[in-house]
Amino acid sequence: MLGFNLSGKTSGSRKEMNTGVQLLASMLVCYPELYAVAYEPQDTEITLDFVVKKKIAHEEMEEFANLVDKSVQTYHDLHGSGPVWLALDADVNGSRMTVHVRRQLATMLRGELDLLAELFCDKFGDDLQIDVHTLDSLEPDFSNMQSNVLDQMFDMAQSSRIREKMIGMRDKDKVVVYNR
């Protein structure tokens, strides 16, 4: 089970690292559509990786990138914040494509992850690689706890800067987070 003691006599940088580790791990647990999540402290940038089990034509990916950008901008307009920075690119490895969505962590909202997951599922359907361990398939107490932890980690990450470079990914039945 995931969890860290974030109170008590934890030093500032250790607490920030635990916040970052828990944030990335909870994102992967709560969003089985995500294959990996990386954080770059210099730019406070988070990269969300989605894996598609087929190659997509360049023009089709450009259309999808525009849809994602417009959807995220509209989401933020509706939630009272202005335009946000977003980048989307893709790498092709054999018959698979990894789509990278990059965002500033400080302006990212939890509902935005819901929106991104829904957009990717709608666009790619069965071709989107989704982990079998969904929130619905986990024990209800564990899935509720992870969802609540993710909300708390978003709040903490937006109020205090995480200084560690990290990457979280799926490894068989586990979620693993490394500092790089």
Asked, for residue 178, whether it belongs to a domain, the answer is no
Asked, for residue 4, whether it belongs to a domain, the answer is no
Q: Quote the pTM value.
A: 0.84
Asked, for residue 166, whether it belongs to a domain, the answer is yes
Which secondary-structure segment (H or E) carries 67?
A: helix 58-78
Cα(8)–Cα(162) distance, integer angstroms = 18
Looking at per-residue confidence, does 14 or 133 come out higher? Answer: 133
What pLDDT sits at residue 135?
54
Query: How confident is the model over 143-155, as a mean pLDDT?
Result: 73
Q: What proportion of the chain, given as a percentage, has pLDDT over 90?
A: 46
DSSP assignment of 20-43: HHHHHHHHHHH-TT-SEEEEETTT
**CB-neighbour burial class of residue 23 (10 A; exposed 0-12, middle 13-18, buried 19+):** buried
Query: How confident is the model over 27-41, as a mean pLDDT?
Result: 92
As given in the structure block, the two tokens for residue 158 are: 């937006």
Cα(85)–Cα(83) distance, integer angstroms = 7
Q: What is the total count of domains within the chain?
A: 1
Asked, for residue 3, whether it belongs to a domain, the answer is no
Asked, for residue 123, whether it belongs to a domain, the answer is yes
Q: Which domain holds residue 112?
A: 12-171
76: pLDDT confidence band, cut at 50, 70 and 90? very high
Asked, for residue 38, whether it belongs to a domain, the answer is yes
Asked, for residue 180, whether it belongs to a domain, the answer is no
| pLDDT at 124 exceeding the cut of 70 | yes
Asked, for residue 5, whether it belongs to a domain, the answer is no
